[in-house]
Each structure stands twice: as structure tokens, then as C-alpha cells.
Structure 1
Amino acid sequence: MRALFSVLYPVIAITVFGLYPSMTIGPKEGWQVYSSAQDADGRCICTVVAPEQNLCSRDAKGRQLRQLLEKVQNMSQSIEVLNLRTQRDFQYVMKMENQMKGLRTKFKQIEDDRKTIMARNFQELKEKMDELQPLIPVLEQYKTDAQLISSFKEEIRNLSMVLAAIQEEMGAYDYDELYQRVLRLDSRLRNCMGKLTCGKLMKITGPVTIKTSGTRFGAWMTDPQASQRNNRVWYMDSYTNSKIVREYKTMEDFVANAVSRTYNLPFKWEGTGHVVYNGSLYYNKYQSNIIVKYSFETGRVLAQRALEYSGFHNTYSYSWGGFSDIDVMTDELGMWLVYATNQNAGNIVIAQMDPDTLEVQKTWNTEYSKRNAGESFMICGTLYITNSHLTGAKVYYSYSTKTSSYEYTDIPFHNQYFHISMLDYNARERALYAWNNGHQVLFNVTLFHVIKTEDDS
């Protein structure tokens, strides 16, 4: 670098004349005076000389230097171009690497999804097989039923021929005898159809959310005894300290909150186990074991009766509490009461009740603790009990009043809003009405019908 510096910058020579003031020295050839200095007497002290400006340009080293500089500049430009290309190629490589990582992730996800789909399909097939398994004995029964129906068809055909003949030949047959045959056939047909009205609970689907309103606890219902044109809805918010019942003309009005009428009951209610049956409300009177029958038409109490030995006011409530000791229910066979007594060690008691007089006609003692039950409902004379009121609840236990026997079941249902405080079956709608944490919802039920012949009975 020192040599290069001496080439790049002209050499400046300083000649000092302090010792020889009278001596004048001129610059050598190729040099020129750059500067001079004098003392106070005008004597020259020093002279600075430098090469002529055009001297270096003619020098061979100068030419080499310029060539070297040009090469350096060319190399710098080449290095800059190479650097730009390298950066562009590096970005391209990085982009390709990211794409490769994305492809690996997608391939792994596709493989995982394929395994998940295969597992889900296998589970669906297994569930279908489980659903079809109970139908095998029924198919055997249908063989006998088909013969019975064929017999009915044949008898109807014969009667039709007889009636046609009567039109042509009056008096050929005894009319009273023929009429009795028709009545017997009609009775047998109705009896056969009656056997289809009840069944065993197989599945619960839903729920369908109808409305969101009220507090966490309450009850809502329709009348299973009403005609198909009568779709009134009744609404009772909270489980205690209230006497107000709201009525809606239709389900659409209920959703729109268009109240048609409000009733002020003579007594407060307790719990959420109320029902409307044949135009009257049945409920548990506050802080008592008394059942009240209230007529919506007259606005009066038609009957009230104490339920003997029954616990009340959270003595034997469901697992969620709420003074739910006494639960009034209805199904295809009439009206029922579900409660618990000290005599049955706090286990559930089922009672069949006369809806007119509120008199208990018969009772059944189960071995299921009332406090361990989430909720319960009756279908075709069988009580179904859930094992919880919270998420993960299922129908765990059933008790048949026809056979006075019980069995453990496993029928899940979706507790969508995590807390159920009312669950009642409506025989007309074939649905479960539920109050689920401030939401009014409906569950559909699937019943397994078994047609019994005279030989079976």
C-alpha cells in the first residue's frame, strides 16, 4: 500500500536552504516549482517542487496502474453481478424448500385423514350392525304376523263378497249375524292396531332448539290429550316461588313470544315435574307433598291430594336439586307419579294415578336411588332414568310396570347445553320435551314395536 500511495500521489520534494541562503537551485528536468517560502529579509528558505502534471501519464507504471484499476473495476462489476444472481438463486431455493415442506405436510395430513375416515366408516358400520341386531327376533315374529294379516284380508274379502251378494239377493243371509261378524272383525283389527301404539325405547335423537328464554330451570309442555288442531304451549319459568303460567296458541307464537293468556295459580309450585293433561295442569304444591289439579278453562282447582309417604322440598330430589322430589308424568297408558319414600330407602317409587280424583291406584318400588337420577320419563308404562343431568348423560336404567322388572340400558342423548332440569315424554308428539340450561328443546324418540299374537298371550 505504501508503494501504491507513492505512485498515486505526485512526489513532493522539499528543499531546505537555511544553511545556504545565497544559493539558488533550479528544479531538475521534469520537475516544477510547487511552492516557496521566504524569511523576513526576503531570503528564500525553502522551495517545494513537484513533478509536472503530465509526467505520470507518460510513465509506464502509470499505464500499468490504470490497467490494474480497470481490471479491479471489471472484477468488482462481475462480483456484483454474481452476488445478485446468487441472492436470486438462494431465494428460489428457499421458496422451493418451503414448497417441499408444505407438500410433506399435505401428504401427512392426507394419510392421517384417510386413517380417520376409515376408522369413522368402520364405526358407522358397527353402529348400524348394533342397531340391526335386535331386529332379528322381530323378523321371526313378523312371519307369524304376516299369516295373521293374511287371514284378516281373506276374511274381509269374504265379507265383501257376502255384502255384494246381499245387494243382489236381499234376505239370503241373516243381517244380525252378518253385522256381528263385522263387529268382531272390527274389534280384532282395532286390537291389532292397538298393539302398535306402544314400544320399547331404542334411540333418542336431537335435540332441536325451539327457543332460548327464562332462567336455567323451568318447564314447558303441550297437552298430549288435545286434538291435532289444538297446539297450545304452556310455559312455567323457574322451579319455585312463582305462580305465573303463560299460554301460547301455537308453537310459532311460543317462538315469537306472543303470549295469548296468563294464569295466576292459587298456589306456588315446587320443582319442574308439571304436566298438562286433558286441559288441566297437574303440579306439586310448594313445600308439601300435595298434588294439585288446576283447570285452565275455569281457572279453579278441581282437586288436590297428598301423596302418602312421599319426600318433598329437596328430601329426595333428582341429582340437580330444585325441589324436584315429585315428578308428574303421562304416557300412552295414563298418568304417573315418580317420587321416593323413607320406606323404600330413598329409592324411586312409581305410582299410577287417576287423573280425575288424583287417587293412587297402584305402586311399584324400584331399587334406583332418586338422588342419583338425573331425570326420568315414562313411555308405554316403562320408566326410563338418566344417570346424570350434566354432559355425558344417558338413559341408564328402565323399569317396566307391566312385568315389574328392571334392566340396565345404554341409550345416549346429546345434552347440548350441559344442564337438564326437565325431561318429559309427550305421547301425542312422540317426543321428549326438555329444559336445557335456559333453552327449550325437543328430542325425537325411536320405539321398537313388538306385535304380540294371541298365542303369545
Structure 2
Amino acid sequence: MWLQVSLVYLSCLILSSQSQAPDQASLHRSNDPAGRCHYIFSVASPEESSCSGSSIKPEMDGVLSRLALLEALVTQLITGADRGAGTGVGANHEEGLQEAYAQVTRERNQLQQDKEHLDRQIQELQGRLAELNKEAESLRQTPCLHTHTSGGTQHEIKPASGMYINPPYSSGNGAYQEMKAEVTEVPAPHLIFEGNHNLTGCGKLLSVGDPVLHRKADSITGKYGVWLQDPEPQGTYYTNKTVWRIDAVGKDVRQLFAYEDIDQFSRGFPMKVLVLPEPVESTGATMYRGSLYYQRKHSRTLIRYNVTSESLVSRVELPQASYHGQHPYSWGGYTDIDLAVDQQGLWAIYSTNKAKGALVISQLDPETLEVKKSWETNIRKKTVANAFMLCGHLYTLASYAAPHTTINYMYDTATGTGGAVSIPFKNKYRYNCMLDYNHAQRKLFAWDNFHMVTYDVRLGRMSDDSS
């Protein structure tokens, strides 16, 4: 565009130079006889009598100076246009580079996030693999239950009371088998009560087996919680095989998961989820005769919730009971009130300001939740990790985190006396936040750092003091 303007300006200059002083001079062109061209410049002035080059020179000098100035302007305009075009191309190129760099940076950040996510998954899988390897090693070390085969039918070998039976011996060809029985005399306190030997199933706790894993929680809400079975269910919809679970991590814990049996529980397939009318406080809930008993959040109120009718049946305040972190177990978790069930009914394990943090045991009416009788022990609640009731006896756990700890104290509500005991106990996953006894299953149920486990127990005769 600048070039076009310049050309127009040049044309104007030339025309103006040709049109100046039309009355003063004229230029004539003609051929001479020899064919040469002659240019004649005439001055139409009465004062000039002959041709003179001095009159033409100023005009030509003016035209030449104007042409030189015009060329300089055109050159300057063309150079400026080229520079402007070059600047625009450079700017566009720089913007393109910046955009490409930003895109590469975003892709690099996304790849870094994907890598970190995959690294976390690898760590989790490695942890699970290590746990499975430990479980497999434990299973390999556990002796198998031997059977005696006769005529293609397998029969489980069960010893009579006071007898130990060696596994069957095979001669090698499979055609002949010999069973050797050895009678071993066993002291009475170490007998395990089975069948009709003890109709109540009561006895003093002698030992606790290794933990058996049934399920691992798959989210942070499952770090600690409650899982149990009803030892004396009522109705037909829920049975003693039904498994109940509450994840106790959260601001408003209300969900109660019901599983058909332990197998479905292990698979993680609940058959129903009940929504409780009031939020749950910590891990002290228990199941008994078709109802869930639990402490309401931020209060000393106890609630009885019927799982069949899905309704709140009873609620009452536990007199003088500490709550919400005043006197919890040593692991914390607002475990001020711990409800428990055994062969003798429903219990509350807690403390009061009057007792100055000592463990208090109260037997409750399962219908009204009213206190029937209370006992005050001489053990501080905050010094023990957890507690449970078994045959009217209170047992406490020394540590919730030590992998090898003990059940360290027992209190007998029948005699009002207690004392130290030392029964080995394993916290396999090192954060045991719930421990309850189920007298129908004759097992301890525990929630150990995302892991839901059970322990077999071994009982001796109640009347034997040496146990």
C-alpha cells in the first residue's frame, strides 16, 4: 500500500514539474536532414534573445532532487514494511512456541500424576501380596485335620474326652491303614467344654488362639469400627449367621451393614444397609436378641435399635457415665462406654468422675436399658487397651498396638474380686480398636487396623481356682 502511495506521489511531482511555467519555455523535437534528432528549447520572453542552458539547469536540478527525495522515501517505506512484517512473523512464531511449551508441560504433569498413582497401586498390591504370603505360610504351618477313609467315605476322627488320637498311618500302598490311639491324662482345668459337658458354655479363660482374618476394609472409613454376630437372635429374617458391621470413622456414623453370612461378609456383599435414627459414638456397640445396642454420639445416652422393625425401642442415659473422651481406653477413639454381651446378659463397661477413671461394670436390663447392678474395680480405664465380658468376668487387654501382648486383668462380678492374669494375645495388625466375646460362637471378635478378625478361646472349669 505504501508503494502505491509513493508512485502516485511521484507521478504528481513529475506532472507538476512539467506543468510549471507553461508560458515561459517550450521544448521542441525534430529530425535534421541527416536523420538525427534535435531538441530545441525555446524561451518565450521578450527579454531573452538567444538559447541559454542556464534556464533549464535549475528546473532539472529541482526535478532530480525531488526524485532523489522520493526514492529515499520509497526505500524507507519499503524497509519499514519489511521490518513490520518480520516483527509480526516473529511474534506469531513466539506465541506458537509458548503454546507448544505449555501443552508439553501439561502433558508432563499429567504423566507425573499417573506415575505417582501407579506407584501407590504397586505399593498397595505389594502390601497385599505380603499379607497373602504370610497367610499362606501360616496355613502351611497349621496342621491339617486328618480323616480316616473307609470304602470311599471319609469320616472325621474325633477323640473321646481325655484322649489324644494320632493321625492315621498309611502303609504306603493305600490298601492298609492303621489308627493308633494313645490315652493321655489331662488335668481337669485344661479341658475344653464341648457338647453337653457344660450347658452354659461358661468357664475361665485359659488361652486365646491366633487371629483369623475374615475381611479387610477397603477405605479410610474402615480404619476402625464394629463387626459382630448376634449370639441369641430373635425372628427368622436375621439369624446367628448374620454378620453386622459399622464403620466408625466419620462425623455422622449411621449406617449398619447386614451380611447374610460370614462368606458374604468376606466377599463384601451386604444384603441390606440400615440407617440408624441417631449417630453412633465409637466402637462400643453390640448385638443381642435382635437389637443393636449403642451409645449415641456426644452423650451418655444408650440406644436400643430393633433391626427387624428398624425402629428405636429404648433410650436412656447411663447415670454419671463419662463420655466423649473423658475416660476412654488407651487407644482413644471416644471409647468411654463399651457395651458387651455374654452368657449372663447385657453389660456396660465405662467409668465415672466419682470413680476417678476406674473401670465400672454395670449389668443392664436388655429391654429397658436400666442398670440392674454395678461394680467398681481398682484398674484405671485409660491404662488398658480394651475389655470384654465372659461368663460374668471382665477381662482387659494390656496393649492395642504391641504385636505380642497379654490379657492382663480379670474381675469376677460373682465374688466382687479381681486380679492380674497373663494370657498371651496377638495384635497382628497393631491397632486393635474393638474386642468383644460371642458366647454362641465361642470366639473373640476384633477390629485390628482395617482388619476384621476372630480368635478361638479355650475355657476351663469355673470351679477350679487353679485355672
Instruction: State the Cα RMSD in Å.
Output: 2.2
Whether 1:364 and 2:375 are equivalent positions in the alignment is yes
> Displacement, 1:393?
2.4
Q: Can you list the C-alpha shifts for 1:115-140, whole angstroms capped at 9, x where unaligned?
A: xxxxxxxxxxxxxxxxxxxx75759x
Using the TM superposition, give the Cα deviation of residue 240 of structure 1 relative to its aligned residue in structure 2, in angstroms. 5.0
1:221 to 223, 228, 246: 228
Output the CA distance in 1 between the equivalents of 2:335 and 2:250.
Answer: 10
- Return closer, same or farther for 1:206/1:355 CA change in 2, 3 Å cut-off: same
CA gap of 1:406–1:451, structure 2 versus 1, over 3 A, is: closer
Identify the residue that residue 205 of structure 2 maps to in structure 1.
Answer: 201
Q: CA deviation at 1:388?
A: 1.4
Does the 8 A contact of 1:240 with 1:286 survive in 2?
Answer: no
Matched with 2:159 is none
Query: Which residue of structure 1 aligns with residue 356 of structure 2?
Result: 345
Equivalences for residues 237-256 of structure 1 within 5 A: 237-241=247-251, 242-256=253-267
Rounded to whole Å, the distance in 1 between the matches of 2:296 and 2:415 is 32
Give the equivalent residue in structure 2 for 1:269. 280
- The alignment partner of 2:421 has SS state of strand
Distance 1:137 1:206, change over 3 A: closer
Please report the TM-score for the alignment, with normalisation by the length of structure 2: 0.55
One-letter amino acid matched to 1:295: N
Q: Does 1:233 align with 2:237?
A: no
Q: Matched residues in 1 for 2:381 and 2:332: separation? A: 11
Q: Which runs of 4+ in 1 moved over 3 A?
A: 135-139, 227-230
Q: Distance in 1 between matches of 2:388 and 2:423?
A: 14
1:291 is displaced (CA, Å) by: 0.4
Structure showing the higher helix proportion among its residues: 1
1:445 aligns with 457
Question: SS at 2:320's partner residue?
Answer: coil
Distance 1:371 1:193 in 2: 35
Query: d(CA) in 2 for partners of 1:239 and 1:404?
Result: 36
1:421 positional shift: 0.3
Cα distance in 1 for residues equivalent to 2:256 and 2:239: 22
Count of paired positions:
268
Secondary structure at the counterpart of residue 396 of structure 1: strand
Query: Structure 2 matches for 1:44-123, cutoff 5 A?
Result: none
User: Shift of the alpha carbon at 1:207?
Assistant: 0.4
The yes-or-no answer on 1:301 pairing with 2:273 is no
Is the CA contact 1:285–1:292 (under 8 Å) kept in the aligned structure 2?
Answer: yes
Structure 1 CA distance, aligned partners of 2:268 and 2:423?
33
1:246-300, Cα deviation, whole Å (9 max, x unpaired):
1111111111111110111111110101111111100000000000000111111
Alpha-carbon distance in structure 1 between the residues aligned to 2:384 and 2:462? 28
Q: 1:317 aligns with which of 305, 316, 328?
A: 328
Distance in 2 of aligned mates of 1:137 and 1:258:
44
1:425 aligns with 2:437: yes
- SS at 1:357's partner residue? coil
Cα contact 2:232–2:240 (8 A) shared by 1: no
Distance 1:279 1:302 in 2: 11
TM-score, L = length of structure 1: 0.56
Which amino acid is the alignment partner of residue 268 of structure 2?
N
Aligned to 1:209, the other structure's residue is in SS state: strand
Shift of 1:239: 4.6
Percent identity, aligned pairs only?
33
Kindly provide the amino acid, as one letter, of the partner of residue 313 in structure 1.
H
